[in-house]
Structure 1
Amino acid sequence: MTKPILILGGASLDTIIHLPELPSPEPQTLWPSESYRALGSTGAGKSLNLASLGQPVVFHTLLGRDTEGQQIRDALAHPRIRVLEEETDGPTEQHVNLMSADGKRISLFIQPPPEPEHVDWTQAQQALAECSLAVVNILGYTRSALPWLKAAGTPIWTDLHDYDGHNPYHEPFIEAARAIFLSSDNLPDYRTTMERLIHRGKEFVVCTHGSEGATLLTSDGRWLEQPVVSVSGVVDTNGAGDAFFSGFLHRYLQGAELTDCLRGGAIAGALCVTSRELASPDLNTQRLA
């Protein structure tokens, strides 16, 4: 029986607004081609993609007692996702994402992620005994889980997203993680940053480059490159990074070589952008084999 993955943090309700191009600083009136509300954020994206690939998930998140929280609960209803929900007194996390025709994005956090003074980790700690690996997303509230995860000896993976190579906010996650994913959006010299992370004892580091593919560095100094998998058309790029992470992790758990893990990530990411959903309806284990 496949052991679950524990995923900590990251569910929002997003308003997606598609524009021909991102707005310039000048005052103007914009006419979107379309807009809609959808499930968002990094933990939800990873959970849905992994579940689509047959991987059971235990997902811990914070939700408000509001309409948006209920919409997220409904969107996460999946037989392979067990949601450990902690209710907060404030509103549920919400974003507005402005999307351009070439896939660029501006995200407005109109309701930032909640950061309660105390988090009850009891259910997550109990679930950890069944889980093979923990994915800790870089939300403020998940930092308090790192000590007990490390004490349990559970392998931790994290996704630093648009890390700039220096921001101290990311340090607790970097220190705790065995494997690290990040993007090159804010890293013109991403290879140097990857080398620094490897020198801190990581198993491997993966850096994604959007439409330019991905790069992996192993602990023994091997560099691997993965080109992007082409698609006939891009519908929505939201969640592509989380789909890549999930496709990679799925193949890793199957014991695949790292080159095949990269390929699996690239396929999952490519499928994601062809759909409005965080996990493409066409994603399944056969597509990644």
Structure 2
Amino acid sequence: MKNIFIIGGASYNSVITLNEFPKAIPQTIHNCHFNETIGNTGAGKALTLSKLEFNTTFHSLIGNDTFGEKVQSLLQEPNLNFISDIDPKGTERHLNIMNSRGERISIFMNPSSDTPTINYSKFEKKLVKSDYVIVNIANYCRHILSVCEKLNKEVWTDLHDYDGKNVYHQDFINAAAYIFLSSDNLPDYKPFMKAQIDNGKELVVCTHGKDGATAYTKEGVWIEVPIIDNYKMNNANGAGDSFFSGFLYGFSKGYGTKKCMQFGTIISGLCIESEAITSNKLSKELVESEFSKYYVK
């Protein structure tokens, strides 16, 4: 089993799903689909990768509260070691409003602390033993980047809906060898991707929701992979983290970039059919079967 260390991003979320986003007028909405569950980018990656049989260590902040207890209970999975520090602000909480196309409005009802008191050197043994290190863009995670550099550990990061200019993300961009992002706020994404490879990055991958994904390699090759239409949209929460995890699954096996993206496409497709941030039926066997179904001629 490959060892993965993930830091940052666990919350307890309220999720409302509507056919369309409400118009910006006073109104009463009488019917919606509603559920509460674990969320956030670190939890999504950790749950997905542990189901793919990676030996996964995941660190996040949680509060000393009932929501923190719920987060911990939902991370009690095989292959997943959840470690935490207490956030004095309480457990992070989001309100996600989804529409039928999988688009999302995310409201941070209780963000995590930006600068909690943490001894980052305590992660060194875990980092040394890790085959892959994923640093998410929660503010407290930026302080582990220097530890990764000291230990000569390559960093994977997910910039999410980065707009190409927000200085908040720059530390993560500078530190990462492998960069993922979405084109939601960066429609002209190719210049950014090319600039990162020119700056010495190993790989940049940009996802486009229903329009698939684009990769740019250090060899200067563009690769496009479409979605699989057979997966039916139920809930898009976690789809980007599932794509990231599927890509890493293929990467860990030494596959080429296109095949890694195809695994990402499968696992994100399975995710959107589920109400959770990762498919409850996910397994290596299912993923390999789906790959044979859609990509092996």
In 2, Cα distance between equivalents of 1:36 and 1:182:
27
Instruction: Report matched runs for 1:156-171 at 5 Å.
Output: 156-171=155-170
Q: Residues 135 and 158 of structure 1 are in contact (CA less than 8 Å); yes or no, is this contact kept in structure 2?
A: yes
* Equivalent in the alignment of 1:74: 73
Instruction: Give the Cα separation in 2 of the matches to 1:205 and 1:89.
Output: 35
Structure 1, residues 212-256: CA drift from partner, whole Å, max 9, x if none? 100000011100011101235211100000000000001101111
Could you tell me which residue of structure 1 aligns to residue 7 of structure 2? Answer: 8
Per the normalisation by structure 2, the TM-score is 0.94
Identity %: 40
Provide the C-alpha distance between the structure 2 equivalents of 1:32 and 1:249, rounded to a whole number of angstroms: 39
* 1:121 positional shift: 2.2
Query: What corresponds to 1:271 in structure 2?
Result: 270
Aligned counterpart, 1:142: 141
After the TM superposition, which residues 120-199 of structure 1 pair with which residues of structure 2 at under 5 Å, given as runs? 120-199=119-198
Q: Please identify, of 114-123 and 159-168, the stretch whose mean Cα deviation from structure 2 is larger.
A: 114-123
The Cα shift of 1:98 comes to 0.5
Q: Deviations over 1:116-175 (max 9, x none)?
A: 342122442221121111100000000110001111011110000000111111100000
Gaps of 5+ in 2: 289-297
Any conservation in 2 of the 1:17–1:32 contact (CA below 8 Å)? Answer: no
Distance 1:32 1:43 in 2: 31
Deviations 1:67-97 (A, max 9, x none): 0000000000012111111112221000000
State the alpha-carbon separation in 2 of the partners of residues 114 and 198 from structure 1: 32
Of stretches 229-238 and 254-263 in structure 1, the one that deviates more from structure 2 is 229-238
Distance 1:194 1:241, change over 3 A: same
Show the counterpart of 1:201: 200
Q: How far 1:25 moved relative to its partner?
A: 1.3
2:226 is matched with 227
Q: Distance in 1 between matches of 2:31 and 2:140?
A: 34
TM-score (norm. length: structure 1): 0.97
251-260 or 238-247, which moves further after superposition?
251-260
> Is the CA contact (8 Å cut-off) linking 1:20 and 1:32 kept in structure 2?
no
Contact 1:60 1:124 (8 Å CA) reproduced: no
Contact map agreement 1:208 1:215 (CA 8 A) in 2: yes
Q: For the aligned residues, what is the CA RMSD?
A: 1.1
The separation in 2 between residues aligned to 1:184 and 1:32, in whole angstroms, is: 31
Give, in angstroms, the shift of residue 55 of structure 1.
0.7
The whole-number CA distance in structure 1 between the counterparts of 2:54 and 2:287 is 13
Q: Distance in 2 between matches of 1:23 and 1:4?
A: 43
TM-fit CA distance, 1:31: 2.8
Which residue is equivalent to 1:245? Answer: 244
Structure 1 residues 196 and 31: alpha-carbon distance in aligned structure 2, compared to 1, 3 A threshold: farther
Q: Aligned pairs, how many? A: 288
Matched residue, 2:292: none
